[in-house]
Structures are given as C-alpha cells and as structure tokens.
Amino acid sequence: MKTFQWTAALVCLLAASITNQASAHFLWLLPQVEGKNNAAKVQLYFGEAAEPDDPDLLKPLTGIKVWEKNAKGKLDTYSLTAGDDSLFITPEPKGAGRAAYGLSHTYGVITRGESQFLLQYYAKT
C-alpha cells in the first residue's frame, strides 16, 4: 500500500512540474510620485507585471484615454503619450495632488481554441 501511495505522489508531482504556466498581459497604471501624494506622471504598462515589457505591444493602445478623478470629484481625461518603454500622461497642473486614475479599454474579440470572447481591460490606481 505504501508503494502505491509513493508512486501516486510521484506521478502527481511529476505532472505538476511539467504543466504549462498560464501567462497573461494586463494594463497597469503606475503613478510616479513627486513630493507628498503628488503624481508627476502616470505610466501605462502592458505586460504580466507593472514594469516595462515589449514596447511593440503598446502601439495598438495609444488611443486609450486615462481619466483622473481629484479629491473634489472633478473628472479630467488625458490622452496617452508614447515613451521609450511605456505610455504615460502628465497630469496638469504637474503634481496635481491626490487623485485616482483609471481607464477602460475594449481590446477586441479573441479566439482561444473553439471559444471566442470579448476581451476588456480595466485599470485604476
């Protein structure tokens, strides 16, 4: 019986080690802080983490609008500017204070195997 348990455990461990890892890209908004709670720049990354990835992946995303909601509830919308490894906005006035930033983006219909689905991204910071 013990031999069967060890064999089953070994098979499960082997199966877990050879499975494919799931990976996905997400839209990340990352404020660059200047002073106390002031955003001097808000960067948009498209990757598995909130860090630079392949800059070519950013090209279809340049039309995204980023909104800013300040402490008084006022909404402003910004267009993205292309940088070397990210897209970014520069809030006006520079260092606009405490604010929330967000976006929504419809990437399109994606096919995985026989399934199709509409891929939509949402990000906020």
| Residue ranges of the chain with per-residue pLDDT less than 50 | none
Sorted by where each starts, the structural domains of the chain and their CATH numbers stand as: 24-124 (2.40.10)
The 10s digit of each residue's pLDDT in 33-59 is: 776 666 688 999 999 988 888 888 888
On whether the pTM is more than 0.75, the answer is no
Query: Which residues make Cβ contacts (< 8 Å) with residue 88, sequence separation at least 6?
Result: 41, 42, 43, 44, 80, 81
